[in-house]
Amino acid sequence: MIALTVIACLLLLPSLAAAQASTAPARPSKLGLCSACHGVDGVSRAPGTPHLAGQDRQYLVRALSDYRSGKRQHVPMTSLANTLQPKDIEALAAWYAAQPGFKKGSAQ
């Protein structure tokens, strides 16, 4: 019985690995525009800059779309978001939402 369970697990492993690989977001091409302030990992590098790691993906899409449309105004986010296409916004939101959340005191 144990042997059967082990065999079943071994058979399942490759499909689990494949599922994880396909759900991990690809590194967005525009990430370099954001990392100086928000970090590649979504942990803010500058005082007054919000952490994005682990934030709700839909919220990030809305925030960036609001900067882009001018509904939400903040220098430099409004002008930065103007350079983003909706597909960039989706990619960046998925990336930052998938990063592990920051821990208190991890900002520099």
Residue 60 makes contact with ligand HEC by CB under 6 A: yes
Q: From the CB of 75, what's the least distance to ligand HEC, in Å?
A: 8
Q: Distance between CA 7 and CA 78 in Å, rounded?
A: 54
Tokens 């970090």 label which residue? 39
Residue 92 makes contact with ligand HEC by CB under 6 A: yes
Closest alpha carbon to 92 in 20, 47, 40: 40
Quick check: helix, strand or coil at residue 66? helix
Closest residue to bound ligand HEC by CB: 34
Do 16 and 22 meet the contact criterion of CB atoms below 8 Å apart?
A: no
Q: Which is nearer to ligand HEC, 50 or 70 (CB)?
A: 50
Residue 62 makes contact with ligand HEC by CB under 6 A: no
Q: Which residues bind ligand HEC (CB under 6 A)?
A: 30, 33-34, 36-38, 48-50, 52, 60, 63-64, 74, 76-77, 80, 84, 92
